Amino acid sequence: MPNSFDFKAQLGIGALGVQIAKSILRARYPYITDYAEDKEMQRRGVDLYVEGLGYLEVKTDTHDPRRLFFELAVGDKPGAVDRCSADYFCVLYPEHRVIYLIPRPELQKWLRENIGWIERKRPYWLKDTASRNEGRRWRATGVVIPRRLLQKDIKIAVIQWSEEDERITAQWKEATNARG
């Protein structure tokens, strides 16, 4: 049985995530454009433009930051991985105070190269979800990938912050390029 989500509740979580991402990123990149009210940019899967970094699709996740979820399909249409035109997926885990900036083109390439292996050897990584909004329902398919596996092949920037001292500390880490 797929996980079920209330779309309006998810939109609220997502909007809060965009605000947190802007706050955290502004410490390093002072010029940020928010496209929350721009229907065309939202259709293209772009939430923010960060000068010096590029276009971002912010995904707010409340689960375990050791595993990253990416939407592959919604019904019979492409999911966020292929529909999005942002430069980066900005995956935010507010409860863990961490953001992962994942280059979208590299993620697309990695998924295309590894989806057959995932389907054969790790089919339990593939997840079905059901969403609802005002009587309308739809299904989506995604993949949950261990972050460390992805970091072996893709350079992922890691931004952590500390709420205790009320200032943002950014720690940038680059993953190795070695294939595992």
- Predicted confidence at residue 148, as pLDDT, reads 97
- Predicted confidence at residue 1, as pLDDT, reads 52
pLDDT in tens, 36-59: 999 999 999 999 999 999 999 999
Q: ∠60-64-69 over CA atoms, to 5°?
A: 55
Q: 3-class DSSP state for residue 139?
A: strand
Contact in structure between 72 and 54 (CB atoms under 8 Å): no
- Predicted confidence at residue 2, as pLDDT, reads 54
- Predicted confidence at residue 135, as pLDDT, reads 77
Closest CA to 86 of 59, 121, 126, 125: 59
Residue spans of the chain under pLDDT 50: 4-8, 164-180
- State the number of CA atoms in the 13 A half-sphere of 130 facing the CB: 7
